[in-house]
């Protein structure tokens, strides 16, 4: 693969994020290999994503099915994990199943069943995370914490999907103690549901933490942080 020209700002940002992740791991007695960085590439051009991959990014996350499908053929995705992290509409399931390595935004039985059906048809198993609306916010997707257990019970036996853990986008909070409290609540849900040992569920991934709060998320047990603007700069929407 041809090495693209590298923007020193991108290189600096990636190093800064990786260093902060490593420090948060050390500070909380975790191994740096326990936490993976997923670079959130929504609105980012394929060239720039390829630069990030050349700099060592191993996981990417996109929000929109259409945007991802439009870019993917221009990406150097060898050895790179691809995640769908945005809200998924049932009518887009056919387009995305098989095109990503994990769907992180499953929040209803209906959606899980659709992914199950298409995966079975295609002879594959799609790893998924269940998205939890930990802050109980009206406008956000995700299952409410008190309905999580019920949803896991409804979907754990579906063929063609494999639950690998939980994902959350918490409310935007400014105080460190508040951020930690909400991540801690999420970690507790993760641990409680892991202890139930439902068949076909590997409760191993906890996807939480974004540019403004990934350090606090790691301190509270995150295994995947999803970082966009701290790597690529502020997003510009057209």
Of the candidate residues 161, 163, 169, 203, the single one contacting ligand PLP (CB under 6 A): 169
Tell me which of 21, 40, 93, 114 binds ligand PLP, using CB under 6 A. Answer: 40
Residue whose Cβ sits closest to ligand PLP: 228
CB 112 → ligand PLP: shortest distance, Å?
A: 18
Check residue 217 for interaction with ligand PLP (CB under 6 A): no
CB of 157 to ligand PLP, least distance (A): 27
Other Cβ atoms within 10 Å of 222 Cβ, number: 29
Q: How far apart are CA 219 and CA 152, in angstroms?
A: 26
Residue 225 binds to ligand PLP (criterion: CB under 6 A): no
Structure token pair of residue 220 = 């509270």
Tokens matching residue 191: 């641990």
Question: Under a CB-based contact definition with an 8 Å cutoff, are residues 192 and 155 in contact?
Answer: no
147 touching ligand PLP, by CB under 6 A: no
Distance from chain centroid for Cα 228: 11
Residue 108: CB minimum distance to ligand PLP, A: 17
Instruction: Kindly indicate which of the ranges 12-20, 93-101, 119-127, 207-215 contains the residues binding ligand PLP, using the contact rule CB under 6 A.
Output: 207-215
- Residue 37 in the binding site for ligand PLP (CB under 6 A): no
> What angle is formed at CA 83 by the lines to CA 130 and CA 190, rounded to 5 degrees?
30
Answer yes or no whether residue 85 interacts with ligand PLP by CB under 6 A.
Answer: yes
* Cα torsion angle, 3, 210, 148, 35, sign: positive
Q: Strand (E) positions, 25-77?
A: 36-40, 59-62
Residues that bind ligand PLP (CB under 6 A): 40, 42, 63, 85-86, 169, 210-212, 226-230
């Amino acid at each position: 693969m041809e090495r693209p020209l590298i923007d020193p700002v991108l290189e600096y940002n990636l190093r800064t994020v990786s260093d902060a992740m490593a420090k948060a791991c050390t500070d909380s007695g975790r191994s740096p290999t326990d936490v993976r960085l997923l670079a959130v590439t929504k609105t980012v051009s394929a060239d720039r994503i390829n630069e990030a991959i050349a700099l060592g990014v191993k996981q990417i996350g996109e929000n929109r099915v259409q945007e991802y499908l439009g870019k993917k053929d221009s990406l150097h995705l060898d050895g790179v994990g691809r995640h769908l992290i945005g809200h998924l509409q049932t009518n887009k399931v056919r387009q995305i199943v098989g095109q990503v390595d994990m769907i992180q935004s499953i929040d209803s039985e209906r959606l899980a069943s659709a992914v199950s059906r298409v995966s079975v048809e295609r002879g594959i198993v799609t790893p998924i995370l269940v998205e939890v609306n930990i802050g109980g916010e009206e406008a956000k997707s995700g299952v409410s914490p008190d309905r999580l257990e019920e949803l896991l019970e409804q979907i754990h036996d579906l063929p063609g999907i494999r639950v690998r853990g939980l994902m959350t986008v918490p409310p935007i909070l400014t105080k460190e103690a508040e951020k930690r409290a909400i991540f801690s609540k999420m970690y507790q849900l993760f641990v409680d549901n892991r202890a139930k040992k439902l068949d076909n569920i590997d409760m191993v991934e906890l996807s939480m933490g974004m540019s403004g709060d990934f350090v606090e998320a790691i301190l509270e047990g995150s295994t995947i942080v999803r970082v966009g603007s701290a790597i690529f700069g502020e997003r510009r929407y057209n």
